[in-house]
Amino acid sequence: MLTLLNLLKDGRFHSGQDLGAALGISRSAVWKQLQHLEAELGLSIHKVRGRGYQLSTPLTLLDSQEIARKAPQWPVTVFDSIDSTNAEALRSIGDGVSAPFLVLAERQVAGRGRRGRKWVSPFAENLYYSLVLRIGGGMRQLEGLSLVVGLAVMQALRSSGVPSAGLKWPNDVLVGNKKIAGILLELVGDPADVCHVVLGIGINVNMQIAEEVDQQWTSIRLESGKACDRNALVVELSNQLGAYIHKHQASGFASLQAEWAENHLWQGRSVSLIAGSSHIAGIVLGIDNQGGLRLSVDGVEKVFSGGELSLRLRNDS
């Protein structure tokens, strides 16, 4: 099917006869493969008698060779379809693959966000990106790491036509109140000694319709008004990540604390912090030098950190 998709990805009309000749199959077999493309990948294909078949929207597929040439710092593998890039990254760690390495996919069939949420992952529209790092030197190398990744994602988005992208503690990138990217970090090993960390990043790139998403969202295309080259975005994101991770490893999160706080969209807002079944009402004061959230709760400053915390605006904010 993907060979057929590569023939169609230019968005032009191709006759069934020409497609069959290129693939070495009959026109009826071409028709069956086209039906599979629509059903399996959710693609829309126009069929016009006398002209042939045309993808409703041209596709640019991820190109591992182009990415490796322009961002050579990490070996990269691109999957056509996978359960999730984080899951594949974790399997690779278990199989002994040497870090660092990068996993990308055109589609996820079981994409995951934070707190067990589904991450909607249509084929060849968005970016599903998991970078694996080996971390030594204890907890200091992990402090505020998810926030550092957020800075890199934000800067990559701004360089890709979304100048208003900003941060929401702890793991989201927003445009206004609409989510454009999310981050999911997963650890394997001893965080006090040597471990592996998977930096999972999902970015809404060219998606324009997503009925399954249960929150306000946007994409680079919706914000910029034009399609985004996902290969160029991978290169930009990798370069931003490399620079921010280097600074974090050399100087700790404290060296990036001020930059992160300057770009936090919910600074000073009235929020509800969700921790399991508990809801804590407060006002955002900022973050500390380890990446924890500083909240004013009934007039008393408290600091919160942890992977299962979630922040929501209160109705009176």
Please report how the helices 230-251 and 145-159 are oriented relative to each other, as an axis angle in degrees rounded to 10.
140
Q: For residue 186, what pLDDT is reported?
A: 93
The answer to the question of whether 57 is labelled as a binding residue is no
55, 78, 95 — which closes off a domain?
A: 55
Asked if the model's pLDDT at residue 261 lies above 60, the reply is yes
pLDDT at position 40 is 79
* Domain interval for residue 309: 266-313
Residue 182 annotated in ligand binding: no
For residues 29 and 115, give the distance between their C-alpha atoms in angstroms, rounded to a whole number: 43
Cα separation, 272 vs 315, in Å, equals 9
Residues, the chain = 317
Please tell me whether residues 182 and 242 are part of one structural domain. Answer: yes
Look at residue 293 in the predicted model and tell me its pLDDT.
Answer: 94
Torsion angles phi and psi, residue 78, rounded to 5 = -110, 125
* CATH classification of the domain holding 185: 3.30.930.10
Range with the poorest average pLDDT among 26-40, 104-118, 164-178, 231-245 = 104-118
For range 189-194, the mean pLDDT: 84
Instruction: State the average pLDDT over residues 87-92.
Output: 97
Give the residue among 75, 78, 85 at the shortest CA–CA distance from 63: 78
Catalytic residues: 114, 179, 312
Q: Hey, is 288 helix, strand or coil?
A: coil
| 15 and 125 within one domain | no
Strands 165-168 and 270-275, by their bridges, are unpaired
Same domain, 82 and 24: no
Contact at 8 Å (CB) between 293 and 195? Answer: no
Q: Please say if the pLDDT value at position 151 is more than 50.
A: yes
CATH code where residue 287 lies: 2.30.30.100
CATH number, position 40: 1.10.10.10
Residues 242 and 271 in one domain: no
Name the pLDDT band for 6 (thresholds 50, 70, 90): confident
The reply, when asked if residue 84 is annotated as ligand binding, is yes
Residue 301 pLDDT class (50, 70, 90 cuts):
very high
Q: Is the peptide bond before 58 cis (omega within 30 degrees of 0)?
A: no
Q: Are residues 247 and 272 in the same domain?
A: no
Q: CB atoms < 10 A from the CB of 229, how many?
A: 14
Q: Which two tokens stand for residue 203?
A: 């970015």
Instruction: Find out whether 60 is annotated in a ligand binding site.
Output: no
**What pLDDT sits at residue 145?**
94
Q: Say whether both 257 and 275 belong to one domain.
A: no
If asked whether residues 145 and 240 sit together in one domain, one would say yes
- Together in a domain, 193 and 276: no
Q: How far apart are the C-alpha atoms of 231 and 224, rounded to whole Å?
A: 17
Q: How far apart are CA 235 and CA 68, in angstroms?
A: 8
How many percent of the chain have pLDDT more than 90?
A: 62
Q: What is the mean pLDDT of the chain?
A: 90
Task: Tell me, yes or no, whether 32 and 95 share the same domain.
Answer: no
Residue 115 assigned ligand-binding role: no
**Residue 281 to residue 240: CA distance in whole angstroms:** 34
Shared-domain flag, residues 121 and 72: yes
Answer whether residue 306 shows pLDDT above 80.
no
Q: Are residues 186 and 232 in the same domain?
A: yes
> Which two structure tokens, joined as six digits, stand for 77?
């593998």
For the chain, the domain total comes to 3
d(C-alpha 212, C-alpha 204), whole Å: 14
85 marked as binding residue? yes
Q: What pLDDT is attached to residue 317?
A: 46
Confidence of residue 212 (pLDDT cuts 50, 70, 90): low
In this prediction, residues 182-193 reach a mean pLDDT of 89
Whether 119 and 208 map to the same domain: the answer is yes
The owner of tokens 């994602």 is: 153
Could you read off the pLDDT of 97-146 as tens digits, one per residue?
999 999 999 999 887 655 556 667 788 899 999 999 999 876 778 889 99
34 pLDDT exceeds 80?
yes
Mean pLDDT of 143-156: 96
